[in-house]
Amino acid sequence: MNALILAIVTYIGFILAYNTYGRFIGKKLFELSNNNVTPAHEFEDGVDYVPTKKEILFGHHFTSIAGTGPIVGPAIGVIWGWLPAIIWVFVGSIFMGAVHDFGAMIISARKKGKSLGDVTKDIVSPTSRNLFLIVIFFLLLIVIAIFAMIIGKLFMMYPASIFPVWMEIPIALVMGYLVYKKKMNVTILSIIAIILMYFTIWIGATFINDFHIPEIFGMQEIIVWVAILMVYAFIASILPVQTLLQPRDYINSHELFVAMGLLICGLVIVHPTITAPALRLSVEGAPPIFPFLFITIACGAISGFHSLVSSGTSSKQLGKENDALSIGYGGMLMEGALAVLVILACTAGLGSESAWTARYVDWASASGLGAKLGAFVDGGANFISGLGLKVELAKTILAVFVVSFAATTLDTATRIQRYVVSEIAEGMKVKPLTTKVGATLVAVITAILLAMAKPGGAGAMILWPLFGATNQLLAGLALLVITVYLAKKNKSIIFTVIPMVFMMIMTGWGMIRNIINYYSSSDWLLFVIGIIIMILEIWMIIEAIKAIKKFKVNKGTMEV
């Protein structure tokens, strides 16, 4: 199979899906209207609630939901063959992920910008709100801790990326100041910013390609990076969104488009043949393709974390309700497009079947962090080198691209965790933790404690085996809340019920298998936490069923 043909077919499919299914969902299911006042205007505070232009918010939203997810997941998932990976990314992003992200954003926007966990109180029940917030807090705790470690490891793997990644912060700060304070043209500024970014990439690749932080007070390099990144996450998450978050993510989105453009142009010139097998059901040490393909490839198809971004930061910056279609639904399809490129880089970019097999000989070989990211960076660099760029420069471009996305996810997750802690503290009437600083301190300190629970800052790896299934269970629960919302609006729920049931079955199945494995291996910590998460999920489902039954009895008297 020619990789170029496969890319063309899937991309045309994404464009058609947006202009047909996406517009149908927006018009008929959610009845988008710019007459509805968004929380960004109603509660504008210059910190979290800030009316934002569609293109700028798209940049923030897309880079926040993407992170390394659409790279790591597909880079592992192709171990079962390129065909199931492509089908899941294509079908999942159109009919599941995009509807999930879009729905979460609209519901939050119509509920004063509250997180999906908080609005569950009004849509389902007060009990379900608390259950949902617990699951969300647990998931974000792992995300913050693990992404700090991942970024540190990426800095160690690709030291040439360190200089451009940190230089992006002052570039973003200046851009934010000039856009919001001096009212300068955002298009011109973004072009200048992206030129500066690629100049710093050239500097990093040419002059600073062997930099490593020495041990400080006996702490390993990775520990130092984790500490630095946690301090950065604290500061970034309490700053007004237009100061750093928006302009940096806007730059990142342009960086993505340039990187994707380079990959696509390289793909057109090289037009390689996919050398990986289309289907590979028997892999040494690997779990079965059903249900684990749908847990392994999350971002790029559907991911529960996306609902947290949609209802956490993006809904508070939504300038017009109609913008949610391109930002929520379109942002997910763009992530699907990125996941397709990753799949092609890992299955056609490595050059030969033997080169692919060497990386994917068994589950242990493919599941290490270096192997996941290395397969994409090396394969993608081979595409880009077809344009005449040096391979090392191409690798640095892709490494900066990956690290920048991971950094976006880190501080967006920290900001969202601040909202979650505040909402939990508000319910428990713990006033000090409802403040911006108090809630952020809890978010950062708990993540640091988790990271340091294991040598090398890898404490989150203790709970990492639970992340995939928990993340996808959260997607199922988010679809559950959206379904109840639509039912109470007397709208057709078939468009959310089918993906909801699918995700509940697949991820519930995967979680049960994991729990059995934890029990067999006497891993009691993961066993107990896994059981608790399953109980919370079942409890949430029961609460939702009760809410729908109650609504049917009192139909027309409840307001959603």
DSSP single-letter state for residue 286: P
**C-alpha span between 42 and 108 (Å, rounded):** 13
Nearest C-alpha neighbor of 377 from the set 197, 226, 157: 157
What H or E segment, with its residue span, contains residue 558? none
| pLDDT, tens digit (0-9, with 9 covering 90-100), for 44-90 | 999 999 999 999 999 999 989 987 888 889 999 999 999 999 999 99
Q: Specify the 3-state DSSP secondary structure of 278.
A: coil
**105, 38 Cβ separation under 8 angstroms:** no
**C-alpha span between 509 and 379 (Å, rounded):** 33
Among 79-88, 154-163, 215-224, 329-338, where is mean pLDDT lowest? 215-224
Cα angle 162-164-332, degrees, rounded to a multiple of 5: 100
**C-alpha span between 124 and 136 (Å, rounded):** 16
**C-alpha span between 500 and 460 (Å, rounded):** 28
| pLDDT, tens digit (0-9, with 9 covering 90-100), for 132-146 | 898 899 999 998 998
Query: Per-residue pLDDT averaged across 398-403, rounded?
Result: 88
Output the CA–CA distances (angstroms, integers) from residue 306 to 2, 102, 299, 435, 484, in the order listed: 32, 10, 8, 25, 19
Residue with tokens 């409890």: 539
Question: How high is the pLDDT of residue 512?
Answer: 94
Domain positions in the chain are 3-552
Query: Per-residue pLDDT averaged across 218-241, rounded?
Result: 91
**C-alpha span between 82 and 131 (Å, rounded):** 37
Task: Choose between 51 and 223: higher pLDDT.
Answer: 51
Question: How high is the pLDDT of residue 558?
Answer: 43
What H or E segment, with its residue span, contains residue 411? helix 391-428
CB atoms within 10 A of CB 95: 19
Task: Choose between 345 and 455: higher pLDDT.
Answer: 345
**C-alpha span between 332 and 303 (Å, rounded):** 10
AA letter at 422: S
Across the chain, mean pLDDT equals 91
Q: How confident is the model at residue 371 (pLDDT cuts 50, 70, 90)?
A: low
Task: Choose between 458 and 423: higher pLDDT.
Answer: 423
| pLDDT, tens digit (0-9, with 9 covering 90-100), for 413-431 | 999 999 999 999 998 899 9
Cα angle 257-211-410, degrees, rounded to a multiple of 5: 50
Q: Specify the 3-state DSSP secondary structure of 550.
A: helix
Q: How many residues are there in the chain? A: 560
AA letter at 488: K
What H or E segment, with its residue span, contains residue 197? helix 186-207
Q: How confident is the model at residue 459 (pLDDT cuts 50, 70, 90)?
A: confident
Question: How high is the pLDDT of residue 345?
Answer: 95
Written as six digits, the tokens of 373 are 């990211």
CB atoms within 10 A of CB 296: 26
Distance of CA 524 to the CA centre of its chain: 29
* Architecture of the domain spanning 3-552: Up-down Bundle (1.20)
Tell me the pTM. 0.91
Burial grade of 122 (CB within 10 A; 0-12, 13-18, 19 or more)? middle
**543, 128 Cβ separation under 8 angstroms:** yes
Given a cut of 90, whether residue 231 has pLDDT beyond it is: yes
Helix axes of 69-77 and 369-385: crossing angle, nearest 10 degrees:
100
